[in-house]
A and B are shown apart, each in its own frame.
Chain A
């Protein structure tokens, strides 16, 4: 079978899993990690490893995730204590994994150097831990059972390797290793240690499994090797298998039926007595000593319980373990039962969504757009019919209109994605930068569920990242400065998104020092930007949008090179939005981005110039009026301005810009539409206003190229194409007093 057809799906899933892993890692509380979160992180790593290994051609990815998974497994079992530097390492590993994934996606080979380095780091953590365990285990054994001391350590080490069954006991409570060693005859222990790898059968324990699943699991085991025997409880299954497969292989097979964390595998002797002994006599393991299996199982259960009750301190653990064998098996069962229920709920959630290519969605959107246009055309024709004679037809038309509109709305909503997609990447950015700069920053996000068109959401990431970096770098002060200013040493960065009319408003606000008016003015003067000393605050703030403008005292690798805010503004304008800035010295800065909800539909005003129809974006139209002679003044002979309520607006004649023949040349007979583009206003001279409608925006570049002064095109009710005016390009060209194609394009 050719697996390569599934690569894309795997890449997408792995991407999502990595993002999820990062988010969970960031949320994780180092001191009291939530077991559910740890499990989720582990599952993410495990799924990626599983996928990578299945395809067989992503060795780097599989290897790295394998090491990561082992560590995560030990942590979630409570065998290893979580440390902040581990989270840093894991985050770094996630980045490496991401780059490996990107490399595979581009059919390239991942960077060997980073791979070796990160694997080295991960192995080192594992080794350090193993040494600690060995030391601890040996010491404890010698204390309790001197006889077993020489062999106890190998047992712990060997067991820790494939499935780490004894290891939990070893870390959590070294005492437990000792009973095992002490109870067994030294010879037997020696045998166990020596032959741990091969001669003993694998003992597979699965918890929280239904009878039916247990049956299929048993069959699967049968395929893998010789089943020596099994023991089936109400919700658990223990199978002894003699197999050449490794524990990992068996776990991988079982994962098709149950979750990885429901499975425990160890090498131990199959004893026909054991199945009977375990359920019947959960008495203290020390007394049921001759059966190592029972001890181990009890110990494992105890360790599980301990791991779940993560807040318990080391001291508590040893107490729990001593009492464990009898008590914990009871609470363990309901937990096992609860787990599949939770994972079943998770599975349901996954099944409610499907993965569809964007081009398919776009095709549907296109077709629906066509349908709406056709419907509008029919409606136009139908409106000329006699309503009495064509009653039924007209009723049908009305219904068609409603349905078409509903359909369009539903289809457009497919493209909508929650802002969480963007916001979720900032905790990491904030964490990294805060650490690097020695600042304490708390990130707050509001309105994560606010939806925005997919194409916009992807394009908003870069500008928003830039704004966040700016706030972190220049906005929020160092803790010392903040304390000196009488503020909380922890700075606040807030990201919010909300709908407002047909727009989405995204805000980045910090409680930092705010913009420095004096510094901005100084800088402006030193850079030769014309601005008066007593300009309004707003005008001064606008300076930071000037190309090449930076007020940072020193250039850092985070920001300050001055290539930024102008690009941010440009990007946002390209998306049909605008940026506003407000700042209070000492209290912080808020940047507000206003974007249309979608790029696919635009509220437009259609105007006629000569025989041609153009669409003006309605959100830039402020008013329209018929100019009178006393409102028009000529400047330098060729240029004209229009006086509207005391404001002189440059007069831009559409027919001159777009070279339209037969248009109304006399401004007094034409209509002036006052347009607002960012802070610039101008009057656009057209022949007639035709009407307002929602138009479906069609890209001109897909088959043609960018047209000067035109942002896109649309299809009118009669099937003809109308061009949508690029208001910003007109405003820019007007300022430069040139309507050459080059000026309009820039």
Chain B
């Protein structure tokens, strides 16, 4: 009995972890699936705008009685064309007891990546600091940008969490 969880744990180590893959424009991103609470369609009519906030914060919406902020990652990542259609979805994340929604162009896959498939990310420009990246994942011919979504969402630049000073 006692040995079982350990072997299970070891298997997870070997098999790597699961990532939810979504698209932003032409790029594919992956986030830890354990942070994902649910996926919903985007309905602009039920997102209430908030004044005087960065443009990537679309506003707040009602998720079964909980007020949840909605962030458009496409605006945050400067992905030129931002349109809202039937494919546009909101990924509801559960981060450190906070619930946050992110708008993405679409959700494609749930993929298992082991450690060997993840390469460290090189330095990019200023839009997405490597600080928020777990690495770059390779699956067949595809490259996935693996984002440490919890770190990103609770960072100062997302302005989602109250700064300690204020």
Contacts and interface: CB of A to CB of B under 8 A. Distances in A.
B160 A370 contact: no
A657 B51 CA distance: 8
A741 B52 contact: yes
Given A713-B60, A721-B61, A721-B62, A704 B48 contact: no
A700 B60 contact: yes
B46 A701 contact: no
Contacts of A366: 65
B1 interface: no
Given A366-B65, A699-B67, A700-B67, A659 B51 contact: yes
Contacts of A353: none
Contacts of A379: none
Nearest to A661: B49
Interface string B134-166: 000000000000000000000000011110001
Contact of B46 (A658, A699, A720): A720
B118 interface: no
Contacts of A369: 65
Most buried by A among B49, B62, B69, B160: B62
Nearest to B53: A707
B45 A720 contact: yes
Contacts of B67: 698-700, 702-704, 713, 715, 721
Interface in A352-410: 366-367, 369-370, 373
B63 to A, nearest CB: 9
Contacts of A710: 50
A295 interface: no
A612 interface: yes
A135 interface: no
B166 A745 contact: yes
Given A659-B52, A720-B45, A723-B48, A705 B65 contact: no
A708 interface: yes
A706 interface: yes
A122 to B, nearest CB: 44
A709 interface: yes
A57 interface: no
Nearest to B52: A741
B90 interface: no
A547 to B, nearest CB: 18
Nearest to A715: B62
B132 to A, nearest CB: 19
B51 A660 contact: yes
Contacts of A657: 51
Interface string A710-746: 1001010001111100000000000000000100110
A257 B109 CA distance: 64
Contacts of B53: 707
Contacts of B161: 705
Given A715-B65, A721-B67, A612 B48 contact: yes
A720 B62 contact: yes
Given A705-B160, A705-B161, A741-B52, A367 B46 contact: no
Nearest to B59: A721
A690 to B, nearest CB: 15
Contacts of A367: 65
B50 A723 contact: yes
A524 B49 CA distance: 44
Contacts of B166: 706, 745
A367 B67 CA distance: 14
B64 interface: yes
Nearest to B98: A703
B99 interface: yes
Contacts of B160: 704-705
Given A370-B65, A721-B67, A701 B48 contact: no
Contact of A612 (B46, B49, B65): B49
Contacts of B3: none
B117 to A, nearest CB: 33
A702 B67 CA distance: 8
Interface string B41-77: 0000110111111000001111011111100000000
B162 A706 contact: yes
A171 B17 CA distance: 77
B89 interface: no
Nearest to B64: A370
A706 B51 CA distance: 12
B100 interface: yes
B159 A705 contact: yes
Interface in A251-306: none
Nearest to B163: A705
Contacts of A370: 64-65
Contacts of A707: 50-51, 53
Contacts of B62: 715, 719-721
Interface in A318-377: 366-367, 369-370, 373
A705 B162 CA distance: 5
11 contacts: A658-B52, A659-B52, A698-B67, A703-B69, A704-B67, A704-B68, A705-B159, A707-B53, A719-B62, A721-B48, A744-B52
Interface of B: 45-46, 48-53, 59-62, 64-69, 98-100, 159-162, 166
Given A704-B60, A720-B62, 14 more contacts: A370-B65, A373-B65, A658-B51, A699-B67, A700-B67, A701-B162, A703-B99, A704-B68, A704-B160, A705-B159, A707-B50, A707-B53, A719-B62, A723-B48
